[in-house]
Amino acid sequence: SQTIHQWPATLVQPVGSPLSLECTVEGTSNPNLYWYRQAAGRGLQLLFYSVGIGQISSEVPQNLSASRPQDRQFILSSKKLLLSDSGFYLCAWSRGTSNQPQHFGDGTRLSIL
């Protein structure tokens, strides 16, 4: 069976510090990978998605970047965090064919001070 791991579960960072959140998937190959953010009181917003190693698409302009150095690894980064980067970050995967559900990790609660 497939599993998705996200860490850390919670993170408190000062404004201007860098960020690296990691997500890995097990039990499948060549998945589509996704990063979402859920701000307080709002739905999930897609930030980045990837259909293969080194292939990253950004959905919204922002202070963040994503990378996929390996098939089942997806990293969300920032060089300098802003207060507005606070939120709940979720990684997800799906099979690389059409009409497939996405499966989510347990998320990272990021607080910027």
Partner 1 sequence: DQQVKQNSPSLSVQEGRISILNCDYTNSMFDYFLWYKKYPAEGPTFLISISSIKDKNEDGRFTVFLNKSAKHLSLHIVPSQPGDSAVYFCAASRLGSQGNLIFGKGTKLSVKP
Q: Which is closer to partner 1, CB of 45 or CB of 67?
A: 45
CA distances from 32 to 2, 25, 61, 79, 96 (A): 13, 10, 21, 25, 5
Residue 8's CB is within 10 A of a number of other CB atoms, namely 10
* Structure token pair of residue 55: 């292939």
Give the interface size with partner 1 as a residue count (CB under 8 A): 27
Within residues 74-113, the interface with partner 1 by CB under 8 A covers 90, 92, 94, 98-107, 109
**Distance from C-alpha of 37 to C-alpha of 58, rounded to nearest angstrom:** 13
Stretch that binds partner 1, among 11-19, 51-59, 66-74, 77-85 (CB under 8 A): 51-59
Q: Look at the block and give the residue holding tokens 């709002």.
A: 42
Least CB distance from residue 34 to partner 1, whole Å? 8
Q: List interacting residues with partner 1 (CB under 8 A).
A: 6, 32, 34, 41-46, 49, 51, 57, 59, 90, 92, 94, 98-107, 109
